[in-house]
Structure 1
Amino acid sequence: MPTIHQFVTGATPGNAIYNEALIMQQALRGWGIRSDIFAEHIHPSLQKMVTPYDQYRPQSEDVLLFHYSLGSALSDYLLALPQKLLLRYHNVTPPHFLVGANPWLRAGAAKGRRDLPLFASRTALALADSTFNEQDLAAAQFPKTAVLPLIQPNDLFNTQPDLDLLNQLHDGCTNLLFVGRIAPNKRQEDLLKTLYFYRQIDPTARLLLVGSEDGAGSYGRFLRTFAQELGLETAVQFSGHVSLAQLAAYYRTASVYVCLSEHEGFCQPLVESMRFGLPIVAYASTAVPGTLGNAGILLQEKNYPVLAELIHLLVTDSALREKVIAGQAERATAFNQEQLLAQFQKWTKLITDN
């Protein structure tokens, strides 16, 4: 039986990279390929599903699928093994975007960027999850690359929203939503600036910042202080880590999805917003234009008063809103799970047959 074992730096419930590894594992097993998941850091709830990477016992015929997103002891370990390697590149945030985050996160990012070229001669095929990420692979001189968009689970769209949260947020107020970990590259402070100007138009509006604060460091404290300085402390919700049911409630009660991030390797919440029928306004940085395609509304600059007016149009002009949502729904079909798995099968067959 062919074997493609997967390696992830961290295995935690809800993590996009781990979710993709699970989807790939199920598909690989369905195709008659043995696939286990090994990780460096494993959440206690996943210890029966994921194996510590140092318990992997190499076999000469194994293919190793490494989900690369951060430099760590795991990357050193895999770099030293002789087995055929398939690199799944999810991007490594350049460390200068992480000033203010916890030092371990910035150090891991620096190592990840530094070590990427070392994998070029070691890798049979590198699969980037965006065209933007493939540019990193080209710069690192990987000989064979391809683009396979991030494969996402469908669970979120079939989950019953948390009713308490749904009722709390369904109170007639305009909800601006952003989903993503609290981190300097996400530029949540620019969302606070946007809310400040938008509340000049709609004083009841609020900002929902949905995402973990693990690794946020002093940046998380800065955001809360900044919100107070702008008089927004009661208008901003910091959710921390949320359940799938809570995340579904946030998407279903949001008025507009706003992304002003300066660095994204793929930006999964854009696809989630498209599938939930939530109009998107996003800053055209890094992978964001590639993920949105011609959908949503892309900003070439951050003019906060103008952005506030644009958001108000999306909230109040039903014709504009419906046009944007329709374009996004069409774009979302490019990320169909079954379609992406068929592409993945083609690449894995190429690797295992050679």
Structure 2
Amino acid sequence: MDLRQLPALNAIRAFEAAARHENFSRAADELFVTHGAVSHQVRALEDELGVKLFTRNGKRLCLTDAGMRYAQQVRTALMMLADATRQVRASDRDRRLVVSMLSSFAARFVTPRIGTFIERHPEIDVELQSTNALTDFARDDVDLAIRFGFGSYPGLYVEPLLDEAFFPACAPTLNGGKLPQTPADLVHYNLLRSDDELWRPWFDAAGLDTLTEPKRGILYQDSSNLLQAAIEGQGIALVRRSLALHDLLDGRLVRLFDIDGPSPWHYFFVCPPPLLGTPRVQAFRTWILQEVAQFKLLCDELDARRAAGKCPEECAREGGWKGIAARSAGTGGTEDETHAASAVTARP
């Protein structure tokens, strides 16, 4: 075999991505190049092979018969190349744990806690991939992911982690500290907007049939930025409990009203079944389940403080979420967390 006759690898990768998506733009997004670059690489490959690989049916890009056969063979070859590369890196790879998750969950839930995992497992090098794109385990070098969705991920090990709830929150100093007293008062305040956290479901839960989805102002596409805008006093945000709890316990945010908006999405631990038994994945799974169990205890603590009428300043003076978590662990919390983690683990 004359390897000099092989097409350029960049052209092969561009073709494989375009064939899988049947779309040059999505292939370009995946490869972090322009639409024109993918189109150029595919045309160059067709010229080199002397075969038409794609055809257009109106605006739709379709593989030719030759293109379909070639795509299957190329994908198999690339998977073999990726597997060979993984095997060569195996000794180093066993120490490296690659975790993919939403940017907001990484910033607000995992990053403040990940230090405890590193302390327990100094032998594991953690790589957190913060992305809003769905991980393709067949292609990406990722061990596990925390996904926010419906839980239907065929071919993967899927374990429920955490339910979600939405509610309004704002800085305690918003409007000079004069905050809305009833849900209907929200009409007089600036409601921050997000692609992910729409107000309509919460309005329905609160019985606010006449209020409409906000149409003006900045539209935040990242939930972390939405939270920060609320902390800075720019308005009232509809926040996720999992992302806002620390700011609530530390006094940077206050929750408005005891009404949760329904969430159709939940957090799930997912990984390829062959990786589930590896020490690095098992270590992270055990750790995240324990953190979720403690998070639920903190949620109960926050509810109790709200019921007792404690203000954000009191929560902050008592050490915020870290102080509360430490006291919980120091009063038998660890055993409770272990039982709670076991309960989470037992869910199908």
- Greater helix proportion: 2
> Where on the TM-score scale, by shorter chain, does this alignment land: which range?
0.3 to 0.5
- When Rg is computed on C-alpha atoms for both structures, the one with the higher figure is 2
Q: Provide the TM-score with structure 1 as the length reference.
A: 0.34
What's the TM-score, normalizing by structure 2? 0.35
Relative contact order, higher structure (CA 8 A, sep 6+): 2
